[in-house]
Structure 1
Amino acid sequence: MKYQTELKDNIVFIRLEGDLVAGTDTQQMIDSVDELQQGEVLLCAIDLSNVRFMDSGGMGVLVSLLTRFRNRGGELVLIKPSDHIRKLLIVTKLNAIFTIAENDDFAAQFLKESIY
C-alpha cells in the first residue's frame, strides 16, 4: 500500500493506493497521523478511491483512526470508496459509523461543520 498525507485547512487528507492490509505501511501511516494530532489536527479525510482490496486488518486500521480522532473531539470521513470497499463497509455494517463523502469538497465541508 502507498499513502500520501496532505494538510489543508487544518484537515489531514490521506490518499491511499493499493491494498489496505495491516502491516508496516499502515503502522507508519498511523504514526504520521499521531504526529499530526500532536499539532492539534482534529479532522481527517481518507481517500479510498484507489484502494483495490481491504482485509479485516485494513478495516481495523480505519476504525482505529476514527477512534483516535473522535476521542480527541475530532472527526474522520472516507472519500469515494471503490465499489468493492463500499460493499465491504455495508456487509460489515461499518457504513453506519463512517461518513462517506463523494469528493474532497464535500468531505471538507462536512468536517468543518462537524466541530463547529
Structure 2
Amino acid sequence: MHNPYLQIQTNVDVAPEQEASLLANASQIVAKALGKSENYVMVALQANTPMLFAGTDQATAFLVLKSLRLPTARTPDFSQKLCSFIEDSLNIPKNRVYIEFVNADASLWGWDGRTF
C-alpha cells in the first residue's frame, strides 16, 4: 500500500460548498493514478493562502504528493493529471502550478500507532 497524501495550497478562494467535491475528486484522482484503494488516501486543502509566483499574485497552486514507494518513473504522468485537475477545478493555468513529489521512507511514515 502506498498511503498517499496530497496537499493542495493555493491563493484562490474556494467556496465552502466547493471544498467537499474538490477534496473528493482529488482523492479519487490520486487513488486511481497510484492504483490503490481510496481508503488510504488523505487530501488537504489550504485555500486563500497569500502566495506569489513569477512576481505576481495571479492564481497559483503548490501541491505535494507524498507516498510510500512512490513510482518516480511515473511522476510526469502524475504531474499531467494533477495539473489538469487543478486547471479544471480552480481555473489555475498549468504553468502556474508547482508539484513536489516525495517518496517517503516507510520507517518515517506513521499510522495506527505504528510505522510501516
| Shorter-normalised TM range | under 0.3
The TM-score with structure 1 as length reference comes to 0.27
Going by fraction, where is strand more abundant, 1 or 2?
1
The TM-score with structure 2 as length reference comes to 0.27
Going by fraction, where is helix more abundant, 1 or 2?
1
